Amino acid sequence: MLAEAGLAALWLAAALAAFQLILAGAGVARGSGEAMAAVRPVAIVQGLLAALAMAILILLFLRSDMSVLLVATNSHSAKPWLYKFAGAWGNHEGSMLLWVTVLGLAGAAVAMLEQRLKQPTLIATLGAQAAIALGFYAFLLFSSNPFARLNPAPIEGNGLNPLLQDPGLAFHPPTLYFGYVGISIAFSFAVGAMITRDVGPAFARAMRPWILAAWIFLTLGIAAGSYWAYYELGWGGWWFWDPVENASLMPWLAATALLHSVTVLATRDGLRAWTVLLAVVAFSMSMVGTFLVRSGILTSVHAFAVDPERGTFILALLLIYIGGALLLFALRAGTIREGATFELVSREGALVMNNLLLSVILGVVLVGTLYPIAAAALGVQLSVGPPFFDKTAGPIALVLVALMALGPLLRWRRDDAGAAVRRAAVPIGVSAATLAALLMLAPGIRLLPLLGLVFAAGVAVASVAPLWGRNLRRTPLFTYGMVVAHFGIAVALAGMASDSAFTKETLVAPRPGETHRVGPYRVTFEGVFPAVGENWSALEARLRVQRGDGDAFILRPQSRFFSSPPMVTSESKISTAVDGQLYTVLGQQDGSGRWQLRLWWKPFVTLIWLGGFLVALGGALSLIGRVRRDRRGVVRA
pTM for the full predicted model: 0.91
Do 260 and 336 share a domain, yes or no? yes
Domain enclosing residue 580, as ranges: 507-606
Which amino acid is located at 273 in the chain? Answer: A
Do 176 and 142 share a domain, yes or no? no
Distance CA 571, CA 636 (A): 57
198 band by pLDDT with thresholds 50, 70 and 90? confident
The last residue of a domain, from among 412, 439, 464:
412
Do 174 and 151 share a domain, yes or no? no
Which amino acid is located at 501 in the chain? Answer: A
Please list, in sequence order, all residues whose beta carbon lies within 8 angstroms of the beta carbon of residue 354, skipping any fewer than 6 positions away.
257, 260, 400, 403, 404, 407
Do 342 and 205 share a domain, yes or no? yes
339 band by pLDDT with thresholds 50, 70 and 90? low
Residue 318 lies in a domain: yes
Identify which of 434, 441, 438, 350 has the alpha carbon closest to the alpha carbon of residue 400.
Answer: 350
Distance CA 493, CA 628 (A): 31
The count of residues in the chain is 637
Residue 615 lies in a domain: no
> 393-427: per-residue pLDDT in tens?
989 999 999 888 888 888 888 888 888 888 889 99
84 contacts 64 by C-beta, under 8 angstroms: yes
Q: Which residue has the higher pLDDT, 30 or 516?
A: 516
Do 177 and 316 share a domain, yes or no? yes
pLDDT(305) > 60: no
Q: Which residue has the higher pLDDT, 329 or 101?
A: 101
Residue 238 lies in a domain: yes
Do 251 and 104 share a domain, yes or no? no
Count up the domains in the chain and report the number.
3
Do 369 and 266 share a domain, yes or no? yes
> 570-583: per-residue pLDDT in tens?
899 999 999 999 99
Residue 421 lies in a domain: no
Distance CA 482, CA 619 (A): 7
CA 470 from chain centre, in angstroms, equals: 34
Residue 119 lies in a domain: yes
Peptide bond into 565 cis (omega under 30): yes
Residue range 359-373: average pLDDT?
Answer: 91
> 251-278: per-residue pLDDT in tens?
999 999 999 999 889 888 888 888 999 9
Percentages helix, strand, coil for the chain (3-state, rounded to 5) are: 65, 10, 25
562 contacts 538 by C-beta, under 8 angstroms: no
Residue range 36-62: average pLDDT?
Answer: 96
581 contacts 602 by C-beta, under 8 angstroms: yes
Residue 496 lies in a domain: no
pLDDT(338) > 70: no
Do 159 and 208 share a domain, yes or no? no
Residue 423 lies in a domain: no
Q: Which helix (H) or strand (E) holds 581?
A: strand 580-589
Residue 277 lies in a domain: yes
Do 55 and 79 share a domain, yes or no? yes
Pairing verdict, β 521-532 and 595-603: unpaired
Q: Three-class SS of residue 434?
A: helix
Helix 272-294 and helix 347-377, axial crossing angle in degrees, nearest 10:
30
CA distances from 413 to 267, 343, 384 (A): 11, 6, 42
Do 114 and 221 share a domain, yes or no? no
32 band by pLDDT with thresholds 50, 70 and 90? confident
From the CA atom positions of the chain, what is the Rg in Å? 26
What is the reported pLDDT for 121?
Answer: 93
348 contacts 264 by C-beta, under 8 angstroms: yes
Average pLDDT over all residues of the chain: 89
Do 110 and 175 share a domain, yes or no? no
Do 23 and 153 share a domain, yes or no? yes
61-73: b (≥16 Cβ within 10 Å) or e: beebbbebbbbbb
Distance CA 231, CA 556 (A): 14
Which amino acid is located at 276 in the chain? Answer: V
